[in-house]
């Protein structure tokens, strides 16, 4: 199962909107073949591991093998496993996809194959959280990221936000952008920094770029903004009330314009997130600014937090990493679960899960 999990990790995010799955075929005490899901529409992990043409053995797979359902484009893996004469299948997790859940395992058992579920479940679940959230709730998995000083400032009072954290922290952020489906910022950040929002791990522009999403309820973004000329797609979320000429100019710049309702504080994030999930977005890396992260947290949309903290103090009226209304009592603060702390260069990274959602107990 560890080999299957390692194979799945290699393709994390690249198979979206399909789950990233790994499989390992064992005969005797040897792993004789491995496979990981190909990008959308290609063969699944199990099919690749079984591709050698030999028969029998135990197949380890990180997610329940798929069963037939209407509209399915590839051969159901459960069927391929039966045809390959596999004697035993070890599955880490049952599928969250309602059309498959439980049916893959059932099909294998009906064919007389011994099936064991749960080995490696915790690791598979942690790896597949974006997929599980999107299939269970119809909304994407949101990771909120900020880089702040110890006193929680992301920019000085004058707006200068350059170089709060170091090179290693920025590199990690680029690695994250390279696997998620979408990077999200507010128009304030887009206006202040004119970011490219591309994934550039080790300074190289990735072949696969996340969808760039800018929240711009008031229609402030310039059609000349740098992100419109970068590789990859851009989506600008705005309100029905934004000026029509501005929407046309943004669309002419190459972005897709998505209109949402305005709900007093800003764009209706629930509506926007559902629209993104419907487009196959499983994961969102939300980079701020403070107002956007505040609204996402208050709406209960944040599933995971990555807080990069620089060993520095800004003081004064510097901009807060998380703004918007906030909580009235200290006891009501958003708390992270299963948090980890690590040193990243000269900075500290605090990570943890947030919000109410957790994968369904298997
Ligand atoms: Zn499959």
Taking residues 236-257, what's their average pLDDT? 96
Q: Label the pairing between strands 182-186 and 211-215.
A: parallel
C-alpha dist (Å) from residue 129 to 21, 23, 99, 209, 218: 12, 18, 18, 20, 33
| All residues at 6 or more sequence positions from 289 whose CB lies less than 8 Å from its CB, including other chains | 154, 185, 186, 188, 189, 192, 319, 323
Q: Which residues surround ligand 1, an ion (CB under 5 A)?
A: 44, 66, 77
How remote is the CA of residue 65 from the centroid of ligand 1, in Å? 5
The mean per-residue pLDDT over the stretch 196-215 comes to 95
Average pLDDT over residues 89-103: 92
Task: Kindly state the tokens that stand for 88.
Answer: 């035993």
Write out the catalytic residue numbers.
46
What's the pLDDT at 73?
A: 72
User: Tokens standing for 155?
Assistant: 């920019």
- Integer Cα distance of 60 and 256 in angstroms: 41
pLDDT at 227: 94
Which parts of the chain fold into alpha helices (H)? 2-10, 45-49, 77-83, 103-110, 121-127, 129-137, 167-179, 187-193, 244-252, 269-278, 290-298
Q: How many other CB atoms are found less than 10 A from the CB of residue 346?
A: 13
CA dist., res. 309 & res. 141, Å (int): 23
CA atoms of 18 and 98, how far apart (whole Å): 14
Q: Which residues pair with 310 in a beta bridge?
A: 149
Distance of CA 67 to the CA centre of its chain: 25
- Please tell me which of 68-82, 257-271, 337-351 the model is most confident about, judged by mean pLDDT: 337-351
Q: If you ran DSSP here, which 8-state letter would residue 267 be given? A: B
Separation of alpha carbons 55 and 116, rounded Å: 20
Indicate whether 355 pLDDT > 90: yes
- Tell me: the pLDDT tens digits for 110-162? 999 999 999 999 999 999 999 999 999 999 999 999 999 999 999 887 777 77
**With bands split at pLDDT 50, 70 and 90, how would you rate the model's confidence at 258?**
very high
Give residue 195's Cα distance to chain centre: 20
285 neighbors 184 (Cβ within 8 angstroms): yes
Cα(78) to ligand 1 centroid in Å equals: 7
Determine whether 30 is exposed, middle or buried from the number of CB atoms within 10 Å of its CB (0-12, 13-18, 19+): exposed
Q: Parallel, antiparallel, or unpaired for β 58-61 and 22-27?
A: antiparallel
What token pair was written down for 350? Answer: 């605090």
- Tell me, what's the pLDDT at 362? 62
| Rounded distance from Cα 5 to ligand 1 centre (Å) | 16
**Which positions ≥6 away from 206 have C-beta within 8 Å?**
177, 178, 198, 199, 200
Average pLDDT, the chain: 93
> At a CB cut-off of 8 Å and minimum separation 6, what does 301 contact?
139, 142, 269, 270, 273, 355
Cα 45 to middle of ligand 1, angstroms: 7
Under DSSP, the state recorded for 331 is G
Q: CA-to-CA distance for 166 and 130, rounded, in angstroms?
A: 28
- Residues 219-240, mean pLDDT to the nearest whole number: 95
- Whether the pLDDT of residue 74 is over 80: the answer is no
Could you report the per-residue pLDDT of 176-199, keeping only the tens digit for each? 999 999 999 999 999 988 999 999
Q: In the prediction, which pLDDT does 338 show?
A: 96
Ligand 1 centre and the CA of 74: distance in Å? 7
20 CA to middle of ligand 1, Å?
A: 11
This model's pTM is above 0.75: yes
Q: What's the gap in Å between 66 CA and the centre of ligand 1? A: 4
CA 276–ligand 1 middle distance (angstroms): 24
Per-residue pLDDT band at 360 (split at 50, 70, 90) = confident
Residue 312 has pLDDT above 90, yes or no: yes
- pLDDT bin (cut points 50, 70, 90) of residue 237 is very high
CA distance 212 to 310: 26
Give the pLDDT mean for 162-166.
86
Average pLDDT over residues 89-97: 95
Distances (CA, A) of 119 to 15, 43, 241: 23, 24, 52
DSSP state of 158: T
Alpha carbons 347 and 336: distance in angstroms, whole number? 19
Spatial distance between the Cα atoms of 107 and 50, rounded to a whole number of angstroms: 18
Give the residue, 265 or 269, on which the prediction is more confident. 269
């Amino acid at each position: 199962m560890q080999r299957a999990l390692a194979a799945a990790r290699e393709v994390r995010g690249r198979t979206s909107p399909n789950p990233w799955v790994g499989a390992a075929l064992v005969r005797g005490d040897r792993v004789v073949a491995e496979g990981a899901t190909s990008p959308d529409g290609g063969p699944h992990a199990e099919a690749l591991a079984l591709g050698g043409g030999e028969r029998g053995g135990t197949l380890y797979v990180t997610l329940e093998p798929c069963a037939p359902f209407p509209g399915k484009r590839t051969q159901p893996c459960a069927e391929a496993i039966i045809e390959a004469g596999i004697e035993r299948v070890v599955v880490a997790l049952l599928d969250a996809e309602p059309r498959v859940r439980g049916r893959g395992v059932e099909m294998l058992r009906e064919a007389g194959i011994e099936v064991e579920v749960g080995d490696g479940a915790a690791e598979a679940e942690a790896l597949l959280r974006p997929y599980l959230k999107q299939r269970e709730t119809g909304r994407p998995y949101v990771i909120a990221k900020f880089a702040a000083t110890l006193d929680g400032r992301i920019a000085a009072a004058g707006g200068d936000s350059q170089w709060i954290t170091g090179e290693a922290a920025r590199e990690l952020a680029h690695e994250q952008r390279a696997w998620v489906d979408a990077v999200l910022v507010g128009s304030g950040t887009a206006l202040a920094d004119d970011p490219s929002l591309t994934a550039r791990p080790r300074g190289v522009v990735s072949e696969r770029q996340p969808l760039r999403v800018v929240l711009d309820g008031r229609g402030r973004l310039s059609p000349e903004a740098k992100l419109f000329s970068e590789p990859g797609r851009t989506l600008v979320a705005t309100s029905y009330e934004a000026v029509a000429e501005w929407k046309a100019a943004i669309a002419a710049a190459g972005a897709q314009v998505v209109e949402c309702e305005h709900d007093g504080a800003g764009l209706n994030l629930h509506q926007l997130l559902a629209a993104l999930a419907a487009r196959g977005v499983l994961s969102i890396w939300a980079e701020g600014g403070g107002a956007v992260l505040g609204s996402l947290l208050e709406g209960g949309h944040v599933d995971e937090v990555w807080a990069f903290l620089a060993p520095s103090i800004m003081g004064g009226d510097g901009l807060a990493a998380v703004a918007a209304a906030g909580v009235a009592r200290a006891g009501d603060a958003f708390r992270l679960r299963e948090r980890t702390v690590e040193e990243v260069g000269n900075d500290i990274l605090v990570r943890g899960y947030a919000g109410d959602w957790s994968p369904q107990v298997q």
